[in-house]
Structure 1
Amino acid sequence: MKSRVETLTPPNTPTPIGPYSHIAKVGEHISIGGTAGVDPTTGQLARDVAAQTRQILKSFIVMLDAAGSDLSHVTHINIFLLRMSDFETMNAAYVEIMGDRRPARTVIGVQELPKAGALLTMNLTAVTREG
């Protein structure tokens, strides 16, 4: 019997640092796991919180496309921020990529993150374009 859950890690996205896929999809529902601001071409973290924010969202664009979706179909984003003092800088970079799209969002301050040097990670839920 085939699982209803389809998992994938598309090319041109950062390599997962653990035993997981970036995307889990059931029907029209999409979940993308915690993603750091790693440039998939170099494998390196972007230099600061703004660049890491932009890189995460650019990776999300690639992942969502692979799952049949896009940023306009995101329902919720969780942001795990290492320093709340970076909140405004993260927001400015977030708006650069998200534009007028305003899905539900939660920002959580954390003590540390699994990826060494990461200043934030994000995950999201979305629906497919056909959903």
Structure 2
Amino acid sequence: MEYEKITRKNPSSMPAPVGNYTHITKIPRNAELYVTSGQVGVDQNGQFPQNMNEQVSNTFTNIKTVMESEGLSAENIIKVNIWATEKIDWEFFDSEWEQLFSNDYPAMTIGYIVELGLPEIKIEIEIWAAKV
């Protein structure tokens, strides 16, 4: 039996992704699924910076920490849901994204909303991951 792994692809019959994501991420049948709560921009002292980019940076740190706690890395991430309450600085965000994923992107959804769980939260990112 061939080794099964997480695969990502963009069907040639579709327009290319408009950002750093993949249209389809497929996980093998017997993979173990992990779903995180939305990770937010809180720092290690429980404080939320006022600056959106600082919250983005903290959010990515928190994503890496929660993933590592289960022995997972970016290659295990299959889907990312992003919610933000103010405009994302895509140049900054993409630099953090690239550090995490290189160029092997998961499926992704982004939404701008009025508010998140606490008034000081500007961004929240939920991770779906799988381990084969």
Q: Same fold (TM over 0.5)?
A: yes
Where do 5+ consecutive residues of structure 1 fail to align?
1-26
1:55 corresponding residue in structure 2: 58
Structure 1: which 4+ aligned runs deviate by more than 2 Å?
84-101
If you compute each CA radius of gyration, which structure gives the higher value, 1 or 2?
Answer: 2
1:31 corresponding residue in structure 2: 35
For the pair 1:99 / 2:121, whether they are aligned, the reply is no
User: Once the two structures are superposed, what CA deviation does each residue of 1:50-72 show, in whole Å capped at 9, x if it has no partner?
Assistant: 22112111111111111221112
Q: Percent identity?
A: 19
Shift, 1:88, TM fit: 4.8
Where do 5+ consecutive residues of structure 2 fail to align?
1-30
Q: Secondary structure at the match of 1:84?
A: coil
2:82 corresponding residue in structure 1: 79
Higher relative contact order (CA 8 A, sep 6+): 2
Amino acid at match of 1:34: G
Taking a change above 3 Å as real, the CA distance of residues 47 and 101 of structure 1, as seen in their structure-2 partners, is farther
Shift, 1:100, TM fit: 2.5
1:22 corresponding residue in structure 2: none
C-alpha contact 1:33 1:123 (8 A) present in aligned 2: yes
- The TM-score, its normalising length taken from structure 1, stands at 0.67
Q: Distance in 2 between matches of 1:95 and 1:82?
A: 22
Count matched residues: 102
